[in-house]
Amino acid sequence: MKSTYTNAALSALLAGACFFMPGPAVAFDLNGAWVSDAENCAKVFVRRGTQVTFADMSDVYGGGFIIEGDQITGKYARCRIKAKKNEGANINLLAACASDIMLQNVQFSLREVDANTVIRMFPGISGMEIKYARCPVS
């Protein structure tokens, strides 16, 4: 009889614990067109058909990049994400990048500010950060 009460109490405790447990962690979605000055989205990115790309003279209006899946596209380089590690609000990426003149591995460290804002941090250069906003490209 005592074990029945003990089992019922344990079941109630487990059910209550499951109710208050946080849901599954959802990785931050990096897909989209990101620009260093949100007011210049339309000057940096354009839609050509179904594809978002850089506007002519976009580099005059600030830096930006486009992430689609494991591809990062900048104005002058393309990268493929080789590794990604989420550590709380920080996202560390290792990417193989190619430009017209070289191939190299690049480490990107991003911090999620909100759903449409990230800050790129530069490992080894304390205090150097660049804020990027996701553009609503339609």
Give, for all 138 residues of the chain, the pLDDT tens digit. 444 433 333 333 333 333 333 434 456 789 999 999 999 999 999 999 889 999 988 888 888 999 999 999 999 999 999 999 999 999 999 999 999 999 999 998 999 999 999 999 987 888 899 999 999 876
CA 43 to chain CA centroid, nearest Å? 22
Span 40-52, pLDDT tens digits: 999 999 999 889 9
CA distance 134 to 48: 18
Burial label, 72 (beta-carbon count in 10 A; 0-12, 13-18, 19+): buried
Write the DSSP symbol of residue 115: T
pTM exceeds 0.85, yes or no: no
User: Which domains are seen in the chain, by residue range?
Assistant: 28-135 (2.40.128)
Q: What is the pLDDT of residue 84?
A: 94
Token reading at 27: 């990785």
pLDDT in tens, 12-27: 333 333 333 343 445 6
| Interatomic CA distance for residues 99 and 104, integer angstroms | 9
